[in-house]
Amino acid sequence: MSRFVEMGGERVPFRSEYLGGTACVCGTAIVALTLPAGANCAVIDARGGAIYYTVNGDSAGTTSPGYVPADNQRAVLPIDGLTSLHVAGEAASVAHVQFYND
């Protein structure tokens, strides 16, 4: 089955493709996640503490634009040109990240 449906002459994504995931114990360290080929969006779950993230940047920390409260989830919406995703967190935090192509 095609991942696209044609609507009004345009090919529109019908469903996301799961590309893999990872869990990283980041604590306060900055971790550069390895993006699977074709990834253009992600879902980040924070366990044990808040997670801070930066899309297409070179680091992450408490002033990063992305924030996931402890024991919550955030989506990184589909973007063109996703080249990097960095995470950091609080002392005992773990980032659980799932990657998709939408």
Task: For 54-97, write each residue's pLDDT tens digit.
Answer: 999 999 999 999 999 999 999 999 999 999 999 999 988 999 99
Report the distance separating Cα 51 and Cα 17, nearest Å: 24
Query: What are the structural domains, with CATH classification, of the chain?
Result: 16-101 (2.60.120)
Sign of CA dihedral 21, 95, 87, 54: positive
Picking from 101, 78, 79, the residue whose alpha carbon sits closest to that of residue 4 is 101
What percentage of the chain exceeds 70 in pLDDT?
Answer: 91
